[in-house]
Amino acid sequence: MTEKKVLVYGSLNLDHVYSVDHFAGPGETIPARDMKVSCGGKGLNQAVAFAKAGAQTYLAGKTGSGGDLLRDTCREYGVHTDYLKSCSEPGGHAVIQVDAQGQNSIIIFGGTNRMQTEEEISRVLEQFDGGDFLILQNEINNLPYLIQRAHERGMEIVLNPSPWEESLRSCGLEQVSWLILNEVEAFQMTGEQEPEAVLDQFRRMYPDMKIVLTLGEDGSMCQSSGLCLSAPCVRTRAVDTTAAGDTFTGYFFAEILRGRTEEQALRTASQVAAITVSRRGAAAAIPYLREVLDEQERN
Ligand code: RIB
């Protein structure tokens, strides 16, 4: 049997990360204790998480000025970059405040991430077959076209509806196999606060869709084929929560591709997300599978 491939079609951002005592409020000017530029973007972070977890991973998207660092970083972590395009327009970037508790507040500028054309999408998807995984987030344009074409090819579509926007309701959600989201996005989509009510609502709206719900300190849940599973959160001292959700997504589905049960996948993804939040940065903070296995052996 040939190994299934993972195609992450998504954003690449240069993250400008400012360490602050608290987030700047309206009309307030605050000093930053430190500033770093590093590689991020939900697409890049999730692709790096898949690759570090050992999956055969391709990242498709578009970089602009400053894109060489993003491309080199992907290669360094084992992500295939054959389907990355570059152009001279301003690229995607993020302004991230990280406070003393490790929480973040993010502004993104889409730039070239929002310049994916239908022709480019079709050419990339032609290289993938039924059963290959397509991983999407909401930081690029043309999602409805991507979902429709990937569905026609029989790909298994995973959507992380982050950041949430009402327009996502008409992006072809009924063709999505898996939805992975946090409690804030779940509330925005369903209007429900309680996890059980959220999952009930999803069952009614999309009976065949599998749902993975991350709940911060309350752990995570997975609803599939009428069954509901949960896993506790792995506690750690948070230094920077950036990319915790992206790490969870990459590791959860890399475990599923490796044939692990959903419960095992939830547990591993929670453990790995905890390692990521104990380190600074986005893609760079995501651990390799070897480190994760070593930690599992020690515990
Ligand atoms: O999920 C974290 C990511 O969100 C950051 O790396 C930033 O670029 C934004 O896309």
pLDDT tens digits for range 81-123: 999 999 999 999 999 999 999 999 999 999 999 999 999 999 9
- Among left, alpha and beta (phi > 0; psi -120 to 50; other), residue 49 is alpha
Residue 18 maps to a domain: no
Which residue, 102, 115, 97, 105, is CA-closest to 12?
A: 115
Beta partners for 80?
A: 58
How close is the Cα of 204 to the center of ligand 1, in Å? 31
For residue 271, give its domain range.
6-12+40-91+112-298
- Looking up tokens 């084929």 gives 225
10 Å Cβ neighbour count for 165? 12
Residue 27 maps to a domain: no
- Of 132, 200, 208, 246, catalytic: 246
Position in ligand 1 atom list of the atom nearest CA 283: 6
Split into its structural domains, the chain has a count of: 1
Which residues sit with their C-beta closer than 6 Å to ligand 1?
11, 13, 15, 40-42, 45, 94, 106, 108, 139, 242-243, 245-246, 282
Residue 82 maps to a domain: yes
Give me the pLDDT at residue 151, please: 98
pTM: predicted TM-score of the whole model, two decimal places: 0.96
Residue 103 maps to a domain: no
2 pLDDT tier (thresholds 50, 70, 90) = low
For residue 233, give the CATH number of its domain: 3.40.1190.20
Give me the pLDDT at residue 295, please: 86
Position in ligand 1 atom list of the atom nearest CA 39: 6
Residue 62 maps to a domain: yes
- Quote the mean pLDDT of the chain: 96
Tell me if 43 is assigned to a ligand binding site: yes
Q: Is 109 exposed, middle or buried (0-12, 13-18, 19+ CB in 10 A)?
A: middle
Residue 133 maps to a domain: yes
pLDDT tens across 192-227, in order? 999 999 999 999 999 999 999 999 999 999 999 889
Give me the pLDDT at residue 299, please: 80
Which residue, 74, 54, 38, is CA-closest to 4?
A: 54
Q: What distances in angstroms separate CA 246 from CA 129, 160, 242, one per listed residue?
A: 24, 9, 9
Tell me if 34 is assigned to a ligand binding site: no
Residue 261 has pLDDT above 90, yes or no: yes
**CB within 8 Å of 237: residues ≥ 6 apart:** 102, 278
Give me the pLDDT at residue 40, please: 96
Which residue, 226, 245, 239, 141, is CA-closest to 184?
A: 245
How close is the Cα of 182 to the center of ligand 1, in Å? 14
Give me the pLDDT at residue 1, please: 54
Give me the pLDDT at residue 226, please: 84
Residue 123 maps to a domain: yes
Of residues 181 and 296, more confidently modeled:
181
Residue 66 has pLDDT above 90, yes or no: no
68 is catalytic: no
Give me the pLDDT at residue 129, please: 93
Residue 20 maps to a domain: no
